[in-house]
Chain A
């Protein structure tokens, strides 16, 4: 594919890229790039062949891929009804399609007159990615806000009716309350345990650190559903008189407790807290990895200086280490907050919101698919969206600040 190199625009681009070297006079004779036919073509003139070929390529790829996938879906008999074959074809077509899409977009833009080409090239590079973001995230956000003011099947506007309904519903307020509980507990505990593990692991021998971190980190590879399966065994309930099969009940009974059906026990929101344990279990590894690398990045001489000044280990940690890893602490905290706001799988799989464990994302799912209330469901997502807005603004501002200080 790299044969495109033997092209005049390549040289034009290289010689005077206006953006990067504005005042630079173009060197009169560049060593000609390899290629027989590039002499005598004016780089500032359009290369019709390339434009045409590129355009045909773009359209052809989109049309071809589109039809191929329709064929895969509606005529499996053309592919011997083999799911493996269909899958492999789809896989190759998808990946190769993406590659050639870029190839032809690039060719098209390269064919344009030099100035236009240079001006458009960056947009050609970001266009496919940005287009997907627009279609998959930005358009749906606007559409969801729009739906939230419409009725159950999005055919008529109903004003603020949906918001009045959801805030009037006890279920939603319950979910809101639980989400706040999750927000108060999970990020703080995750950061705390993550920090603890990071600090303690740092004091172990090299191998001890590596091995112990791997074990704490391992749940990161496990799905929420898999984790729910794992913990449903831990929380399993057997009535009095039968041996316990759940680890938690076994320990509980060992200390003299009566068998508990943990996930149905909502005294002090115990069941919600036990669900939170699963998320913490999954997320601590992430916190630990980030915090650990931040701690290792703390300059040794600042610690040394504190030591010479006679600071205790605890003082060194709180007054020297923590301020220097504050950025990472915030990152981990914010990431966990975002995760918690959207927590769904664990609740959906294990309790489906029964026994006062409902959360916003599961309430949304139920409204959208069980009750077919698209309007109310959209209103719930908008509430979620409002909840992340401060983080969104914070992200943008931090980024700006970082870029300015670069």
Chain B
């Protein structure tokens, strides 16, 4: 039911515009502001797809705002007339589950795990773009290949290496940062190098003639010029780290686990406290969604710059 009405609403909004523009009644009827033919089929199908794509998330949001009984007894789409609205779940999430605490952990994991790989990768990408050295091609092909390797290969060896019999940093932030840095590195180098190799080489040459070292050229010229690519990768990596379950679950303890791990724990819990799940899920999505919407332009540019994550 909702499908139909919302689709009609969206479609209606689209079509209402076409009456306005028009000189010749026949040919202008189906024209848009830029003079292209309006396509009713596209409008209807897209509206339908948008509704299908959005409805599950809307369902989560509405459910998160309903009381335990309402959640269990009626569908969320009946909330308009059945009621049962409450914000109690959001208070409950912070008071009675570990989601609130783990939000901070997620921030503390995600920010360094985003910045550190970028720094490491940017230096490497600079070398691959602007310096000539032996083995350059082989090393880069190695990086391209490693992008595809499943991270599962790393679990047992890394648990041994970082664990109590190794470096003893399993369960701490730094272990997870290093892992995310390592796993994100091939893609980071690849994307940044692809971008940097499009920068004009003459700028770098003239910087050299002016007496700049590579280190200075990097910080003063290449980093500022690469901001779009750096931002794009930063968003990608941030989303990836924030949304990661496996690494956080295996390499952090219950004291400092991330919000996604907490949410997964909540998903497993039946009965008591299950009414907090939708609210918890929504809270866990909030920061990535904000990041995503404010920086969408960069994100899209980064993806189209040839980002393929292994």
Kindly supply a per-residue 1/0 record for chain A positions 181-203, scoring 1 wherever the CB is within 8 Å of any chain B CB and 0 otherwise: 00000000000010011001101
Give A130 to B107 CA distance when docked, in angstroms. Answer: 26
Contact A391 B208 (CB under 8 A): no
Kindly supply a per-residue 1/0 record for chain B positions 291-309, scoring 1 wherever the CB is within 8 Å of any chain A CB and 0 otherwise: 1110010001001101011
Q: Which residues of A contact B306 (CB under 8 A)?
A: 331
Which one, B43, B150, B173, B242, contacts A87 given CB within 8 A?
A: B173
Contact B108 A90 (CB under 8 A): yes
Contact A125 B214 (CB under 8 A): yes
Within 8 A of A (CB), among B163-184: 168-169, 171-174, 177-179, 181-183
Q: A201-B46, A221-B289 are in contact. Are A94 and B158 (CB under 8 A)?
A: no
Which one, B14, B47, B56, B132, contacts A230 given CB within 8 A?
A: B56
Q: A106-B215, A136-B154, A377-B156 are in contact. Are A221 and B55 (CB under 8 A)?
A: no
* Least CB separation from B14: chain A residue: A208
Contact A223 B242 (CB under 8 A): yes
Q: Which residues of B contact A233 (CB under 8 A)?
A: 56, 59-60, 63, 76, 278
Q: Which residues of A contact B38 (CB under 8 A)?
A: 205
Interface SS of chain A:
helix
Which one, A14, A20, A223, A246, contacts B284 given CB within 8 A?
A: A223
* Least CB separation from B284: chain A residue: A226
Contact A243 B74 (CB under 8 A): yes
Q: A122-B133, A141-B153, A147-B157 are in contact. Are A206 and B144 (CB under 8 A)?
A: no
Which one, A132, A141, A204, A221, contacts B46 given CB within 8 A?
A: A204
* Least CB separation from B310: chain A residue: A338
Contact B59 A87 (CB under 8 A): no
Q: A87-B104, A229-B267, A233-B60 are in contact. Are A289 and B300 (CB under 8 A)?
A: yes
Contact B126 A392 (CB under 8 A): no
Within 8 A of A (CB), among B240-291: 242-246, 256, 260, 263-264, 267-268, 277-278, 280-281, 284-285, 288-289, 291
Within 8 A of B (CB), among A240-262: 242-247, 250
Interface centre among A17, A98, A136, A341 (most CB of B within 10 A): A136
* Least CB separation from B300: chain A residue: A289
Q: Which residues of A contact B128 (CB under 8 A)?
A: 126
Give A2 to B218 CA distance when docked, in angstroms. Answer: 11
Give A338 to B146 CA distance when docked, in angstroms. Answer: 12
**Chain A interface category by residue count:** 35 or more
Q: Is A175 an interface residue (CB 8 A)?
A: no
Q: Is A179 an interface residue (CB 8 A)?
A: no
How many residue pairs, one in A and one in B, have C-beta atoms under 8 Å apart? 370
Give A196 to B42 CA distance when docked, in angstroms. Answer: 10
Give A95 to B74 CA distance when docked, in angstroms. Answer: 49
Within 8 A of A (CB), among B104-151: 104-105, 107-108, 111-112, 115-116, 119-121, 123-124, 126-128, 131-133, 136-137, 139-141, 143-151
Q: Is B53 an interface residue (CB 8 A)?
A: yes
* Least CB separation from A9: chain B residue: B213
* Least CB separation from A360: chain B residue: B152
Give A166 to B166 CA distance when docked, in angstroms. Answer: 29
Contact B284 A10 (CB under 8 A): no
Contact A138 B150 (CB under 8 A): no
Contact B304 A293 (CB under 8 A): yes
Q: Is B39 an interface residue (CB 8 A)?
A: yes
Q: Which residues of A contact B59 (CB under 8 A)?
A: 230, 233-234, 247
* Least CB separation from A17: chain B residue: B208
Q: Is B186 an interface residue (CB 8 A)?
A: yes
Cβ distance A240 to chain B, nearest Cβ, rounded Å: 15
Cβ distance A381 to chain B, nearest Cβ, rounded Å: 5
Q: Which residues of A contact B213 (CB under 8 A)?
A: 4-5, 7, 9-10, 13, 106, 110
Give A216 to B55 CA distance when docked, in angstroms. Answer: 11
Q: Is A317 an interface residue (CB 8 A)?
A: no
Q: Is A48 an interface residue (CB 8 A)?
A: no
Contact B243 A222 (CB under 8 A): yes
Give A79 to B159 CA distance when docked, in angstroms. Answer: 27
Contact B112 A95 (CB under 8 A): yes
Give A284 to B210 CA distance when docked, in angstroms. Answer: 49
Which one, B57, B174, B303, contacts A218 given CB within 8 A?
A: B57
Give A220 to B299 CA distance when docked, in angstroms. Answer: 11
Q: Is A396 an interface residue (CB 8 A)?
A: yes
Q: Which residues of A contact B27 (CB under 8 A)?
A: none
Cβ distance A364 to chain B, nearest Cβ, rounded Å: 6
Contact B123 A128 (CB under 8 A): yes
Interface centre among B54, B115, B264 (most CB of A within 10 A): B264
Cβ distance A327 to chain B, nearest Cβ, rounded Å: 10
Binds B, one of A265-273, A302-310, A342-350: A342-350
Q: Is B86 an interface residue (CB 8 A)?
A: no
Q: Is B96 an interface residue (CB 8 A)?
A: no
Q: Which residues of B contact A157 (CB under 8 A)?
A: none
Give A73 to B216 CA distance when docked, in angstroms. Answer: 36
Kindly supply a per-residue 1/0 record for chain A positions 308-335, scoring 1 wherever the CB is within 8 Å of any chain B CB and 0 otherwise: 0000000000000000000000010011
Q: A91-B111, A223-B260, A226-B281 are in contact. Are A381 and B153 (CB under 8 A)?
A: yes
* Least CB separation from A216: chain B residue: B53
Contact A205 B208 (CB under 8 A): no
* Least CB separation from A345: chain B residue: B245
Q: Is B205 an interface residue (CB 8 A)?
A: yes
Contact B209 A14 (CB under 8 A): yes
Give A230 to B219 CA distance when docked, in angstroms. Answer: 43
Q: Is A61 an interface residue (CB 8 A)?
A: no
Contact B46 A208 (CB under 8 A): yes
Q: Is A370 an interface residue (CB 8 A)?
A: no
Q: Is A30 an interface residue (CB 8 A)?
A: yes
Known: A90-B108, A225-B245, A247-B77. 9 other contacts (CB 8 A): A5-B211, A73-B171, A91-B112, A137-B154, A203-B36, A214-B293, A225-B284, A226-B263, A338-B148
5 A-B residue pairings within 8 Å (CB atoms): A14-B212, A19-B131, A98-B119, A223-B260, A233-B56
Q: B residues engaging A (CB < 8 A)?
A: 14, 17, 32-34, 36, 38-39, 41-43, 45-47, 49-50, 53-57, 59-60, 63, 71-78, 104-105, 107-108, 111-112, 115-116, 119-121, 123-124, 126-128, 131-133, 136-137, 139-141, 143-158, 161, 168-169, 171-174, 177-179, 181-183, 185-186, 188-189, 205, 208-216, 219-220, 239, 242-246, 256, 260, 263-264, 267-268, 277-278, 280-281, 284-285, 288-289, 291-293, 296, 300, 303-304, 306, 308-310
